[in-house]
Amino acid sequence: MQALHKIRITLEMIKFEHSVFALPFALTGALLAAREEKLSLAAAGGKLGWIILAMVSARSAAMAFNRLADARIDARNPRTRMRAIPAGMLSQSFTAGFVAVASVIFLFAAGKLNALCLKLAPLALGILFFYSYTKRFTAFSHLILGLCLGVAPAAAWIAVRGRLDAPILLLTAAVMLWTAGFDIIYSCQDYDFDRRERLHSVPARLGIAPALKIARLLHAAMIVLLLWLAEILSLGPVSLAGVGLVAALLIYEHSLVRPGDLSRVNAAFFTVNGVVSVLFFVFWAADILYAAA
């Protein structure tokens, strides 16, 4: 019972439910790959379970590792000092064990997909773990976090096709810019703390108002890349409608935050972006599956 209690706290700490951010893009990448490979949904379906397991376990390992790496910083930050490790609810050794188990599960799932996925899996974990230290030395940490989520659709594409092709890199870049944009918004909350601790972020480097403008530019570029990908892959009007809906949601997200009012950052970060990823998948999946019917 004690172990189950600790696992529950760990899942709360890593916000396990926020796997929804990257997972829909990974599933979109898998469906696009199946479409290009001319595979039936039944033929591709056998891989989807392993893709989901790989995605969720990789994210879980990365988030738990991040909490370990940032434990001392979190303890000094009023916003994060009640997280499980600095608050004493979880030990570092238990969290490290969780990281190890989640990593093994990820490697196992990657091996079940294909040989290339297994070969690339350690590199993927390396990138995920490396992100946790980037805020200590570069304001580009937002883009590196974006890359961590952006590799999800490319990895799913490789899982289905057994190789990496150029078109899916547009979706990787789009997810990277989307993630970097909303992470910049989120990091505005820590503007004073980051400057005091000499941590690197776009808000700490440039100020909150310029940072929010950069986030808007990144999200605008994301929409351009999605439209470009839809054009290259000859997707239909349903996918374009999905891009339009994503654009509308991002406009709404940016309307929630102002340089002098960050009270609704959590709504912008957690709620809106979760809806963005799910609705994007729903519309693009509907387009792909309708064309295949």
pLDDT at res. 20: 73
pLDDT at res. 44: 73
As a whole number of angstroms, the distance between CA 51 and CA 149 comes to 14
Residues of the chain with pLDDT below 70 are 1, 291-293
Collapse the DSSP code of 86 into the 3-class scheme (helix H, G, I; strand E, B; otherwise coil) and give the result.
coil
pLDDT at res. 57: 96
Q: What is the DSSP string of 127-194?
A: HHHHHHHHTTT-TTHHHHHHHHHHHHHHHHHHHHHSS--HHHHHHHHHHHHHHHHHHHHHHGGGHHHH
pLDDT at res. 292: 62
Beta carbons of 161 and 148 less than 8 angstroms apart: no
The reported pTM is 0.94
Q: Please give the domain boundaries of the chain with CATH numbers for all domains.
A: 2-292 (1.10.357.140)
Residue 115 structure tokens: 């040989």
pLDDT at res. 242: 97
Q: What proportions of the chain, in percent to the nearest 5, are helix, strand and coil?
A: 80, 0, 15
pLDDT tens digits for range 229-244:
999 999 999 999 999 9
pLDDT at res. 113: 95
pLDDT at res. 260: 87
